Structure 1
Amino acid sequence: MEQQLFKVSIPEGEKLYGPQLRQLVGEAHKGVLDPEIFNKDENNRPLNKKPSNRFYTTRNEAVFISEGENAVKNVQSVMGFMLLALKDKFPEHNITFSTVSTNKSASVSAKPIIYSFHNIVKKRRNDIAKELSNEQTVKNLIIRELESAYRNGLIDDLPPTESLLITFTEVNEKGVKVTDAGGEYASMFSGKVVMNIDLKGSWQIGSLTAKGYGRFYKEFVRGGDNEQ
């Protein structure tokens, strides 16, 4: 699957989070952009589907990513408003930007690969979900994402789960408020996992990915690829 990314530098010493970035761009465009850019319908209600357009941040970059046949068009429509929003946010700093084209894919790896995951969100509303360990909860989300990738042709073959050798070296949990009405909270997980799948491109797992949650990326390997 084609992915187009628009990246803008975050000045050293400054912090910006995915939901903030999305809100800043939302305020800057003043109704010009297609609401689907923000995973919403024409009545400003969230779309009930996995978002193909997402905002997220890393330690030093603000990123808008779009997937699929309209990816280039979507990035072009967002670029100006995102630059305007970040120049207003950091008026005393020079910021740089770039566009990157990638292909999202997955393949079975002969060797285990270490991944980090950051703020994977999962609502655990029923007793069965609440009784699962943190590791099993995240593992289920990873498997679900890989199964979706297989159905969508991003991976040619998906071997049995046990052959993926999914092993967690670190899982941390905290709560995140996911709805204003009633103040519903969900679990949010960060950590590291080792598995025999090689992921290319930009991946996010779990809920609230349109707001930048759930980044899942390969750890830096000296002399190898480190696509994020």
Structure 2
Amino acid sequence: MLKLCLPRGVNIGPNDLREATAKVLDGQDCHRFFHYDKNGKPINEKPASRFVGGKGFVGFISERNEDDIKDLMYPVLQAIQTPKLFSMLNGLMPKIQVLQFEKKAFITQEPKVYSVSRCIDKKEHRKTLGEEGRLAVLFKSMLIQAVKEGVLPTLPEEQELQLQFASVRDLGFETQFQNKNKKWMHMMHGQFIANIDLQGVWQMGGMTSRGHGLIFKQNKKGIFQSCL
């Protein structure tokens, strides 16, 4: 992970960094870093590299190899010096870290408290499930993918997982893709508890390459932090 620790009071979203980096690269490696094919169409699979961000940080992660981080380091450094981001940084340079982490998940006896930020559901037919139902489906889809990747040995039963949502907000929005198509999305924030300990960077829902659906875990002080 390439992590930019932002100065106090500065807020730069993952899509801000993504757009600025894309302009620096000017069409190069779009399939590698931005989840588009050579024709500018989104690739229909889980992105192995993603721009992410939260309180006090923004960055880029790759689940492929370290070369992605090394090769994107200089373009990101150029991106934060472009007029828009430099202005958002108030002329201050963020502290830059390169981190390695292992993605893990363990079933627990006691529940952990989580929040999910800007989680996207593209499936309109799921509106009958309500906001909590939508998020439950997306969370379980994330766990199914984790089983396929070997991160989680087996999919926990509902009774074992004990997934419960404390609060959910649906903040729908319209987005425009590179091919100029516009689409209405359901974007949700939520807090939930579950008998599972997530470690590493976890995201659920759609548009994760733009930083959506990042999951934060509540620490002992009651503060939500990334699961690193």
Query: 1:59: how far off?
Result: 2.3
Please show how residues 104-119 of structure 1 align to structure 2 within 5 Å: 104-119=103-118
Deviates more, 1:82-91 or 1:96-105: 82-91
Please show how residues 193-208 of structure 1 align to structure 2 within 5 Å: 193-208=192-207
**Letter of the structure 1 residue corresponding to residue 111 of structure 2:** P
TM-score scaled by structure 1?
A: 0.89
Q: Secondary structure at the residue paired with 1:64?
A: strand
**Letter of the structure 2 residue corresponding to residue 184 of structure 1:** K
* Match of residue 167 from structure 1: 164
Q: Secondary structure at the residue paired with 1:87?
A: coil
Q: Distance in 2 between matches of 1:30 and 1:116?
A: 35
Q: Distance in 1 between matches of 2:86 and 2:25?
A: 18
The 8 Å contact of residues 117 and 216 in structure 1, kept in 2 or not, is answered as yes
Structure 1 unaligned spans of 5+: none
* Match of residue 22 from structure 1: 18
Q: Distance in 1 between matches of 2:71 and 2:31?
A: 12
* Match of residue 227 from structure 1: 227
Q: Distance in 2 between matches of 1:183 and 1:31?
A: 21
* Match of residue 95 from structure 2: 96
The 8 Å contact of residues 201 and 226 in structure 2, kept in 1 or not, is answered as no
Q: Secondary structure at the residue paired with 1:103?
A: coil
The 8 Å contact of residues 127 and 134 in structure 2, kept in 1 or not, is answered as no
The 8 Å contact of residues 55 and 64 in structure 1, kept in 2 or not, is answered as yes
* Match of residue 80 from structure 2: 86
Q: Distance in 1 between matches of 2:66 and 2:146?
A: 21
Q: Distance in 1 between matches of 2:167 and 2:220?
A: 18
Which one of 55, 64, 69 corresponds to residue 60 of structure 2?
64
**Letter of the structure 2 residue corresponding to residue 122 of structure 1:** D
Matched-pair identity in %: 26
The 8 Å contact of residues 6 and 100 in structure 1, kept in 2 or not, is answered as yes
Which one of 131, 135, 139 corresponds to residue 132 of structure 2?
135
1:155 aligns with 2:152: yes
* Match of residue 209 from structure 1: 208
Q: Secondary structure at the residue paired with 2:99?
A: strand
Which one of 71, 76, 81 corresponds to residue 70 of structure 2?
76
Deviates more, 1:116-125 or 1:177-186: 177-186
The 8 Å contact of residues 33 and 78 in structure 1, kept in 2 or not, is answered as no
* Match of residue 144 from structure 1: 141
TM-score scaled by structure 2?
A: 0.89
Query: 1:159: how far off?
Result: 2.3
* Match of residue 43 from structure 1: 39
**Number of aligned pairs?**
219
The 8 Å contact of residues 215 and 226 in structure 2, kept in 1 or not, is answered as no
Q: Secondary structure at the residue paired with 2:66?
A: helix
Structure 1's 183 and 35: CA in aligned 2 closer, same or farther, altered over 3 A? Answer: closer
The 8 Å contact of residues 33 and 77 in structure 1, kept in 2 or not, is answered as no
Q: Secondary structure at the residue paired with 2:98?
A: strand
Please show how residues 119-130 of structure 1 align to structure 2 within 5 Å: 119-126=118-125, 129-130=126-127
